[in-house]
Structure 1
Amino acid sequence: MEEHTTDPHASAQSLPSRQAAPEEPEKADEQEPVPQRDPSASPAPPAVTGGGPVRRLMSAWRRAVDRVDQRRRAERAWQLHYEESVGSRTGEAPGERAAGPAPSGAAHTADSPAPQAAAHSGLPPVIATRSTALASLPSWLVRGGLGAWLGLGIIIMIALVVYATSIIVPVFIGVFMALVFTSILQPLVSLFARVMPRYPATFLALLTTLAAIVGLMTYVVTSVTSQWASLTSQFSDGLDTIVDFVEHGPLPVHLTQQELAEQFQAWVRQGQDYLQSNAPTLATEVLSNASAVVDFFAVMALAIFSTIFFLASGGRMWRWFLDELPAHLRESVHRAAGAGWYTFAGYARGTVIVALADGVMAGIFLQLVGIPLAAPLAVLVFIGAFIPIIGAPAAMIIAMVVALASHGPLTMVVVGLGVAAIGQIEGHILQPLIMGRQVSLHPVVVIIGVAVGTYAAGLLGAIIAVPLIGVLWSVYSELHVKDAPVVGELPAYTARG
């Protein structure tokens, strides 16, 4: 594009008049020069105002580009003036020194003394030059490029977080369990803290919870041992019933008891052969599992240790973290963290309450039907409620197998229908009533999140997928400023011919 410059001789001729009036430079210093835009350049994209982190980031980016453009124009103006002044003394043409490096005494920024001296000497601080490449691009292309870079940066940050987490998985599990324990025990600690200091209230809440868990496990063990004799006979009768059904039932395939025994013996021989041929590998796996047991206790120690401090002095720890941040970020970070913790704590407490209700209802139902091992199966239903989508069906299948082995196919169907009814009560009554809007995610989002978490990190990913998605969505909703919603019916699409 054509370059527009001012006449340096005209600027030099204006120096005496400005020296005669000393108050004029002071006025020129008080007024900030306004940069001139090339008329042939494309118009700059409109400034973005309003709330939202993305809009504020775009506005800051454009202001930075304008400042860089202004500084480049000031550098160009000073370089032209310097070359003209040196050329007038040495006899060189003004353009002969354009390709050479700037002198060491020349300034390179608009804030350096050289442009200020040019302003005091009467030279224009900014000379209009050709527009920058960014200003010459269409506004939609600039917005698209900025959005692409922002999206790429977000993807890179998420990938780095996932990679760092994969390296320290035990530490992540320990901290995650500490947050779960903290959210569950916080109401109990707050209740005890009304009559005692915070630290004794924390230890009392931990001991109370530990006593409840030990009591539940003791009840399960005693119920199994007391029913062991009758359970053995019931399972034997149940197996005979299953064999008779397979041999004489309405199924298209009939197997005799001898064929079933031979098939069972074949499976036993295959298992023995597998153990003999893979003994070294299995020994290595046993040793690795022994180290996994040590890792489990280390993770539990980290979780309990962190839980104690989160419960006793979590408020002071969070205040220290906020004090380390810049003042203009503290409010937004506190709001985002508060929204995330509200969602996480609501999900953890609601899941525990819902799982406890499922276990109690399942235990009562199985006891009424007369299924053996009702207490262990109820505990299994309680544990399965913590695994979204797949936990409840797995517990139902195990309960149906026990019912089939103990009382036959009809009881198995009854147990399946009863456990399914408990699942419906959980999904349509308990979860909306207990959790409310704390974790308001669409079932499709939950299913996709659980599938992604399962494929990415196995059972751990399936457990943490839903609370993680809920926390991210709540933080985004807290910081994002929504536009007006669409009202009325959407217009139908018509093809243009």
Structure 2
Amino acid sequence: MQQPSGVEPRVRLASDYAWRLLVLGAAVYVLFRLAMRFETIIIAIFLAMVFTALLRPPANVLARLVPRPLAVAVAVIGEICVLAGVFFLVGERVASNAPNLGSEFRGGIQRVETWLEGRPFHVHPGTLTNLQSKIGDYLSAHRSTLLSQALNSAGRAAEVLTVLALAVFCSFFFTHSGEQMWEWFQRQLPDRVQPIWRRCGAAAWRTFAGYTRGVILIAATNAVIVGIALAILRVPLVLPLVLVEFFLSFVPLIGSPIALAVATLVALASRGVPTAILVLALIVVSGEIEGHVLQPFVMGWAVRLHPVVVAVTVIAGTIAAGLVGAVVAVPFVSIVWAVVGELRAARTEPPTDTETEIGPEIGTEIGPEIETDEIP
């Protein structure tokens, strides 16, 4: 007769789950550290997937008129030309406005100093003068450090160009023969799990592509709204600020306010306090439009995540991997949630003649196979 162990069944069950969760957590940690080791490659692959989500629709349309390799090449070259043209236009605009910007910013700083000396701050004029001299002394004393940081930034710029080149290279093949690559990967798996991998892969790609197109549409809308408002307020550097707004909008919830905060500083230095207050009010208006109109309407069908989940995910991604983590976190969690939904659906759907047994770890039956044309 088996002797009682003296441990409550619930405690034993909790301990069983605890050590399994510890093992899973250790595995996730090891995978995360490995991913950070190859961060450059992972970022390039992520960007390649983003480019693929954008290139597939025009490439599919062009493929009806010309051979598919030529259609993909035209789409990729068009993408490169658009990106290069945007950055060239921004650089040209900044260079052409550089002579006038210096005088505008100096006049703006004087206006800010006058404002701080008046009500309600009553800052002593000597304080501002001493602050400017301290800043100049600091820059002179740390000139070598600032120079080394500038050289490091140049190295980072070369790394960014390498990542972009690898992303464009991979996106060409993902767009041209992504289905064949996905089929090859599935053939390496056991026959009994291939259908569920096909189904989960289709759901993952559908979610990622929908998120990518949706966030680009939201970013473009925010950029247009901000550009029109800054042009009306006659704030300088409108095009660079619009570009900053567009790219930072890829970080949900916090990206757009950060970009508009930069625009507020530019407006404060160049146009004075009233214009800066109006730009600051634009942060509230833009946030309301994005949170209550654009996000539910554009992203609701692609990413079914609660705003609280999105906020926590962005913060967790920022803590784990900085800006890259903030950008990648939401699509990653969205893909995981879509795959979990497919696994649940596979376990609850009734069997049919075309279903295949996949084992007890996932379920006993799955539904009809999903077309792999949805996979990049």
Name the TM-score, length of structure 2 as normaliser.
0.83
- In structure 2, how many angstroms separate the alpha carbons of the residues matched to 1:360 and 1:351? 14
Q: CA deviation at 1:192?
A: 1.4
Preserved CA contact (<8 Å) 2:251 2:314: no
Q: 1:409 aligns with which of 273, 283, 289?
A: 273
Q: Which amino acid aligns with 1:301?
A: A
Equivalent residue, structure 1, for 2:333? 469
Spell out the pairing of 1:373-452 with structure 2 (5 A cutoff): 373-452=237-316
2:120 to 251, 263, 270: 251
Query: Within 1, Cα distance between the matches of 2:148 and 2:113?
Result: 39
Structure-1 residue corresponding to 2:363: none
Distance 1:326 1:430, change over 3 A: same
How far the C-alpha of 1:259 sits from its partner, in A, is: 4.0
CA distance in 2, matches of 1:235, 1:282: 22
Does 1:159 find its partner at 2:23?
Answer: no
Partner of residue 266, structure 1? 134
Do the aligned residues in 1 keep the contact of 2:218 with 2:249 (CA within 8 Å)?
yes
Select 2:201's aligned residue among 337, 355, 364: 337
Amino acid at match of 2:239: A
Shift of 1:392: 1.1
Structure 1 runs not aligned, ≥5 long: 2-40, 43-132, 484-497
Counterpart residue number, 2:213: 349
Partners of 2:321 and 2:327 in 1: CA distance: 10
The amino acid that maps onto 1:253 is: H
**Cα offsets for 1:447-476 (capped at 9, x unmatched):** 211121111111111111111111111111
Q: CA deviation at 1:298?
A: 2.8
User: Deviation of residue 381 (structure 1)?
Assistant: 0.9
For residue 371 of structure 1, report the CA deviation from its aligned partner.
1.6
SS at match of 2:252: coil
List gaps (5 residues or longer) in structure 2.
349-376
Residue 313 of structure 1: how far off its partner (Å): 0.3
Q: Distance in 2 between matches of 1:305 and 1:176?
A: 12
Is the CA contact (8 Å cut-off) linking 2:208 and 2:331 kept in structure 1? yes
Cα distance 1:474–1:425, how it changes in 2: closer, same or farther (>3 A)?
same
Give the number of the structure with larger relative contact order, counting CA–CA contacts within 8 Å between residues 6 or more apart.
2
* Residue correspondence of structure 1 range 116-131 to structure 2 within 5 A: none
Mapped contact 2:44–2:166 kept (Cα < 8 A): yes
% identical aligned pairs:
34
**Residue 224, structure 1, aligned to residue 99, structure 2:** no
Provide closer, same or farther for how the CA distance between residues 262 and 200 of structure 1 changes in structure 2, counting only shifts above 3 A.
same
SS class of match (2:120): coil
Greater radius of gyration (CA):
1
Once the two structures are TM-superposed, the CA of residue 152 in structure 1 deviates from its matched residue by 3.8
The one-letter code sitting in structure 1 at the alignment partner of 2:30 is: L
Calculate the aligned-residue CA RMSD, in Å: 2.7
Q: Deviations over 1:253-291 (max 9, x none)?
A: 3222x542232112211222233xxx4x66765665554
Task: Supply the distance in 2 between the matched residues of 1:290 and 1:417 (Cα, whole angstroms).
Answer: 36
| CA distance, structure 2, for counterparts of residue 474 and residue 417 of structure 1 | 37
Residue number among 171, 181, 191 corresponding to 2:61 in the alignment: 191
Name the CA distance, whole Å, in 1 between partners of 2:325 and 2:337. Answer: 18
C-alpha distance in 2 between matches for 1:343 and 1:405: 43
Mapped partners of 2:133, 2:58: distance in 1:
55
Aligned position for 1:6: none
Whole-angstrom distance in 2 between the partners of 1:233 and 1:284:
29
Q: Give the Å deviation of 1:225.
A: 4.0
* TM-score using structure 1 length: 0.64
1:291-370 superposed matches below 5 A = 291-370=155-234
Cα distance in structure 2, aligned partners of 1:398 and 1:202: 38
Structure-2 separation of matches of 1:413 and 1:139: 63
For the residues of structure 1 that align with 2:27 and 2:65, how far apart are their CA atoms? 45
Change (3 A) 1:284 1:419: closer
1:130 aligns to what?
A: none
Distance change >3 Å, CA 286–CA 240, structure 1 → 2: closer
Greater mean alpha carbon deviation, residues 295-304 or residues 446-455 = 295-304
1:413 and 1:252 map into 2 onto residues whose CA distance is: 17
Is residue 34 of structure 2 the alignment partner of residue 170 of structure 1? no
Aligned AA (1:273): A
Where does 1:28-177 land on structure 2 (aligned, <5 Å)? 147-148=17-18, 150-177=20-47
Q: Distance in 2 between matches of 1:406 and 1:283?
A: 27
| CA distance in 2 between partners of 1:272 and 1:230 (Å) | 25
CA contact (8 A) 2:52 2:171 kept: yes
Q: Give distance in 2, aligned partners of 1:151 and 1:384.
A: 35
Give SS of 2:142's match: helix
Alpha carbons of structure 1 residues 386 and 376: separation in structure 2 relative to 1, 3 Å? same
How many equivalent residue pairs?
346
Answer yes or no: is the 8 Å Cα contact 1:354–1:430 preserved in 2. yes
The whole-number CA distance in structure 2 between the counterparts of 1:411 and 1:145 is: 61
- In the alignment, residue 390 of structure 1 is paired with which amino acid? I
